[in-house]
Amino acid sequence: MKIIRQVDEMQACALTLRAEGKRIAFVPTMGYLHEGHLSLVRAAHKHGEVVILSIFVNPTQFGIGEDFAGYPRDLSRDSALAAEAGVDLLFAPEAPDMYPCGYATTVHVEGITETLCGASRPGHFDGVTTVVSKLFGIVQPHAALFGMKDFQQLAVVRRMTADLNLPVEIIGMPIVREADGLALSSRNKYLTPHLRQQALCLQDAIRIATDAALQGEKDAAAIIAMVQQRIEQEGDARIDYIQICNPITLQEIPRIDADAVLLLAVFFNSTRLIDNHPILTPFN
């Protein structure tokens, strides 16, 4: 596996690969890799002859008071995991190279960035779409793989890619969970054992919601109330949002339909976790 740190070198390498007729599959990450990221790498081998993984903790998607400075970073660890998973090229740029002096361009997607995480993290998705569009220009992928745990992010990237006519196939991959059901996240490392146990209420809440919907409850507000009641049983849990939405527009829906998705964001002390699940699919 080759590690590339410079933007110009990565772009030149990618353009050479494309000129040689190689199909590039890309997995963008912020590092501190876990099994969720590695599952994307394994899937990427089915979508390209060359797999490129990026590690870049993007400063523009963190707001004031968020965990940018403390976000876990360990390039040596990540490099070993990436190589073992079969990554061909690891791109790990520095912020001054990605955002040089005088940088003045932002990519903004309207509408679907203004709800859910976008409502509680103003400017977050401008940072996401800007860095993803830059990475697409640098890495030149034919396909890019994203985990569905960040459901809104995937929807926003799909919208941006379609709106800007970017020749990249966006592939969403299922959530990878730990044995007890907690969705894998780099932020799980912030949880104390006590908070880690409390965080399992997210899985209980999803199961309560899907069971109710599958048993015929169609009122979204009634299901949200059940979810809220379960989460509020945990002393250190603070709800950011509970919404049942259309998976494409991300607009809240009052009645459950076949496509409805339950989306959650909950703080456990200062650690914010997100999760989601199609509400008419059993949660196992």
> Known catalytic residues?
37
- How far apart CA 280 and CA 136 sit, in angstroms, is 34
Residue 98 CB neighbours (<10 A): 18
- How far apart CA 46 and CA 129 sit, in angstroms, is 25
Burial per residue of 125-138, b for 16 or more beta-carbon CB atoms within 10 angstroms, e otherwise = bbbbbbbbbbbbeb
In eight-state DSSP terms, residue 267 is E
Closest CA to 268 of 189, 210, 206: 189
Q: What is the CA radius of gyration of the chain?
A: 19
- How far apart CA 58 and CA 126 sit, in angstroms, is 11
147 strand-pairing partners = 173
143 strand-pairing partners = 25, 169
Within its chain, how far is the Cα of 259 from the centroid? Answer: 20
